[in-house]
């Protein structure tokens, strides 16, 4: 029989965010004006409805790891406010940040994270109470079991207690395993033994009875020795009656290496009666990232999101950061990076589009049909008056596909209020996905119509859009390019 907690917790999230979406869009628009610091090209350029709205339709949340110091950057803030329905502190709730000296607590940054969640009607996720890393030296030096247990309990009481009722879930114990499935010899393991995990869970339940209590780890994303050790522990904790509600799968992945058993692994934990979540998703590659790596990365992000959607007890997906300019990866893995869905200039990468599409996000700015056309619907071979254009077409190909980077310039003297680009694809090329426009293919004709936010192009102005396509050998750029029916120079 389920406990009251289990009944509450396992249901997926369901709330209306229509009003929030409006607020977030205003925030994005506002960000473009903050101090004049953010130009439209630097701002988040939404093509889809916010991830959070699309995720909400599935009853899941999309989260991100927040470092509150970055919020002063309008580009970062605009994406944070628009896209995410869950917030986790990247560092601010860890032991070294909250209790650097025994009994002396510091919640400045942690409170900023909590306040951001409240202001954006986002869930607050707690990370993390008991972890071997970012642990102050004074904890490491404790050798008497009773003393260390007291310190652990005091820490849980103070930190989980402060945010009780506000946090939806806590990573109570983080990274307790070695990769071979043996226990990591942290100070807690060495001094307290295996039982420290159940003890920490029970104490966290007392400190915050309404938070779900999770264990969280990396390299547990597929079925392997480490994830099986976690699985066996969940079975054991449940048999003991210890409060275990959820398991987090960090998913710090490498491009092209999503484990083949990813979904199966999530499902086997869900079948134990715990919720699961992708808690720290990023997918790194060698930098500078090639177009083919970014295309594979997009497929990998899609695979992860689709796996969560396929598992009824998956609460959602959290991305470990927002943009490649603020990621832990390059500092730890030399020569690696580009792991997040936005680049360092806050431009959406193919991975952003892949997540939006996996969530079924509606495309924003689709032109609605004009019910009372006043002009002939037949194509005007001479184009709109004043449409004069040039188009630069970049192709970055690999063996079976390529990324097209298209720069469209208004070379005339009249502003455009909307634009439609058409071109003929060489034989064997087929559109896969595009961004910053609405893309379509009919026969060999490729069409891109402006998104809601980039239809206005002043004389001399440019718009940059892109797409991925498959090919069967011919990687030459499309030909016969027109904008609004006029052949471009
Ligand atoms: O705050 C100090 C600053 O005062 C000092 O000048 C600077 C000098 O290096 O260090 C700053 O602290 C850094 C801290 O992040 C805050 O920026 C630490 O050096 C740095 O090691 C720390 O890295 C964090 C890492 O956890 C620590 O293990 C990353 O930002 C954070 O993304 C990362 O997150 C972890 C999850 O918590 C658990 N799972 C793995 C994940 C990635 O490692």
Q: Measured between alpha carbons, how far is residue 144 from residues 149, 189, 197, 300 in Å?
A: 9, 12, 17, 46
Q: Is residue 30 part of a domain?
A: yes
Q: Establish if 339 belongs to a structural domain.
A: yes
Ligand 1 centroid, distance to 118 Cα (angstroms): 24
Do residues 27 and 140 share a domain? yes
Q: Quick one: what percent of the chain has pLDDT higher than 90?
A: 65
Residue 231 counted as domain residue = yes
42: tokens are 């630097």
**Do both 398 and 471 map to the same domain?**
yes
Nearest one of 339, 328, 296, 342 to 83, comparing CA atoms? 342
Give the mean pLDDT of 343-361. Answer: 97
90, 186, 340, best to mutate for ligand 1 pocket (most atoms within 8 Å of CB) = 90
Residue closest via CA to ligand 1's atom 42 equals 328
Domain that includes residue 478, residue range: 389-487
Binding-site residues, ligand 1, Cβ < 6 A: 90-91, 133-134, 218, 250, 280, 328
* pLDDT tens sequence across 158-175: 999 999 999 999 999 999
Domain boundary among 336, 358, 380: 358
Q: CATH no. for residue 194?
A: 3.20.20.80
Please tell me whether residue 182 adopts helix, strand or coil conformation.
coil
Question: At 431, which CATH number?
Answer: 2.60.40.290
Q: Is residue 13 over pLDDT 60?
A: no
Residue 88, beta-bridge partner list: 65, 125
Instruction: Report the pLDDT value the prediction gives residue 46, as an integer from 0 to 100.
Output: 64
State the pairing for strand pair 275-286/246-249: parallel
Of 312, 341, 358, which residue is a domain's last?
A: 358
Q: Assess whether 28 and 127 both reside in one domain.
A: yes
Least confident stretch, 49-58, 90-99, 230-239, 413-422 = 413-422
Q: Known catalytic residue: 280?
A: yes
Q: Do 210 and 348 have their domain in common?
A: yes
Ligand 1 pocket test: which of 65, 68, 70, 91 has the largest number of ligand atoms within 8 Å of its C-beta? 91
More confident residue, 258 or 450: 258
Residue 333 CA to ligand 1 center (angstroms) comes to 13
Q: Is the pLDDT of residue 247 over 50?
A: yes
The span from the CA of 47 to the CA of 356, in Å, is 9
Helices (H), 215-261: 225-240
Say if residue 122 is exposed, middle or buried (CB neighbours under 10 Å; 0-12, 13-18, 19+): buried
Is the same domain home to 30 and 177? Answer: yes
**Nearest to residue 197, comparing CAs of 226, 180, 176?**
176
For residues 339 and 399, state if they share a domain: no
User: Range with the lowest mean pLDDT among 105-114, 181-190, 364-373, 406-415?
Assistant: 364-373
Same domain? For 320 and 410 the reply is: no
**430-470 pLDDT tens trace:** 886 665 567 788 778 888 887 644 577 767 766 666 666 77
Secondary element (H or E) of residue 168: strand 167-174
The pLDDT-based confidence of 263 (bands split at 50, 70, 90) is: very high
| pLDDT score of 331 more than 90 | yes
Clarify whether residues 333 and 400 are in a common domain: no
Question: How does pLDDT run across 195-223, given as a tens digit for each residue?
Answer: 999 999 999 999 999 999 999 999 999 99
Residue 88 lies in a domain: yes
Residue 63 included in any domain: yes
Q: Which of 81, 90, 99, 280 is catalytic?
A: 280
Q: Are 60 and 311 spatial neighbours (Cβ–Cβ below 8 Å)?
A: no
Q: What is the pLDDT of residues 264-296, one digit of tens each?
A: 999 999 999 999 999 999 999 999 999 999 999
Looking at the structure, tell me whether residues 352 and 412 fall in a common domain.
no
Closest CA to ligand 1's atom 13: 91
DSSP 71: G
Look at ligand 1, atom 30, and give the residue with the nearest C-alpha: 328
In a domain, 291, yes or no: yes
CA 65 to ligand 1: nearest atom? 32
Whole-number pLDDT of residue 418: 85
Chain mean position to CA 30 = 22
Question: Is 196 a member of any domain?
Answer: yes
Q: Is residue 380 part of a domain?
A: no
Q: Are residues 344 and 405 in the same domain?
A: no
Is the domain of 397 the same as that of 454?
A: yes
pLDDT 10s digits, 71-115: 999 999 999 999 999 999 999 999 999 999 999 999 999 999 999
Section 307-320 average pLDDT:
98
- CB atoms under 10 Å from CB of 89, counted, come to 25
Domain tally, the chain: 2
- Maximum Cα interatomic distance, the chain, rounded to a whole number of Å: 86
Please give the distance, rounded to the nearest whole angstrom, from the Cα atom of residue 221 to the centre of ligand 1.
22
257 shares its domain with 400: no
Task: Map residue 179 onto helix, strand or coil.
Answer: coil
């Amino acid at each position: 029989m389920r406990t009251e907690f289990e009944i509450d917790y396992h249901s997926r999230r369901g709330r209306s965010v229509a009003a929030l979406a409006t607020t977030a869009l205003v925030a994005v628009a506002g960000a473009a004006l903050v101090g004049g610091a953010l130009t439209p090209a630097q701002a988040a350029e939404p093509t889809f409805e916010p991830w959070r709205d699309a995720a909400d339709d599935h009853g899941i949340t999309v989260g991100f790891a927040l470092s509150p110091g970055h919020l002063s950057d309008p580009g970062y803030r605009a994406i944070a406010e628009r896209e995410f329905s869950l917030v986790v502190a990247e560092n601010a709730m860890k032991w070294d940040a909250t209790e650097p000296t025994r009994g002396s607590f510091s919640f400045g940054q942690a409170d900023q994270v909590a306040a951001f969640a409240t202001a954006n009607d986002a869930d607050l996720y707690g990370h993390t109470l008991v972890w071997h890393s970012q642990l102050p030296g004074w904890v490491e030096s404790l050798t008497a079991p009773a003393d260390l247990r007291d310190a652990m309990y005091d820490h849980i009481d103070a930190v989980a207690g402060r945010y009780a009722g506000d946090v939806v879930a806590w990573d109570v114990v983080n990274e307790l395993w070695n990769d071979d499935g043996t226990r990591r010899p942290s100070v807690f393991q060495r001094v307290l033994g295996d039982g420290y995990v159940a003890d920490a869970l029970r104490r966290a339940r007392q400190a915050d009875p309404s938070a779900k209590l999770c264990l969280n780890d990396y390299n547990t994303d597929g079925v392997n020795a480490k994830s099986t050790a976690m699985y066996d522990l969940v079975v054991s904790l449940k048999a003991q009656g210890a409060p275990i509600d959820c398991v987090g799968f960090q998913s710090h992945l490498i491009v092209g290496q999503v484990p083949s058993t990813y979904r199966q692994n999530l499902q086997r934990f869900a079948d134990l009666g715990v919720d699961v979540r992708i808690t720290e998703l990023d997918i790194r590659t060698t930098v500078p990232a090639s177009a083919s790596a970014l295309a594979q990365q997009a497929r990998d992000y899609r695979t992860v999101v689709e796996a969560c959607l396929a598992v009824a007890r998956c609460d959602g997906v959290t991305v470990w950061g927002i943009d490649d300019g603020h990621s832990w990866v390059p500092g730890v893995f030399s020569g690696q990076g580009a792991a997040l869905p936005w680049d360092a200039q806050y431009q959406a990468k193919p991975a952003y589009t892949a997540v939006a599409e996996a969530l079924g996000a509606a495309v924003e700015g689709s032109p609605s049909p004009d019910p009372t056309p006043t002009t002939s619907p037949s194509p005007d071979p001479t184009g709109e008056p004043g449409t004069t254009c040039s188009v630069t077409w970049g192709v970055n190909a690999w063996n079976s596909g390529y990324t097209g980077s298209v720069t469209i310039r208004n070379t005339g003297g009249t502003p455009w209020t909307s634009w439609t680009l058409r071109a003929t694809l060489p034989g064997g090329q087929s559109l896969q996905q595009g961004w910053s426009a609405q893309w379509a293919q009919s026969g060999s004709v490729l069409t891109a119509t402006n998104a809601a936010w980039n239809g206005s192009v002043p004389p001399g102005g440019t718009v940059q859009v892109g797409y991925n396509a498959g090919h069967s050998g011919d990687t030459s750029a499309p030909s016969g390019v027109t904008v609004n029916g006029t052949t471009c120079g």
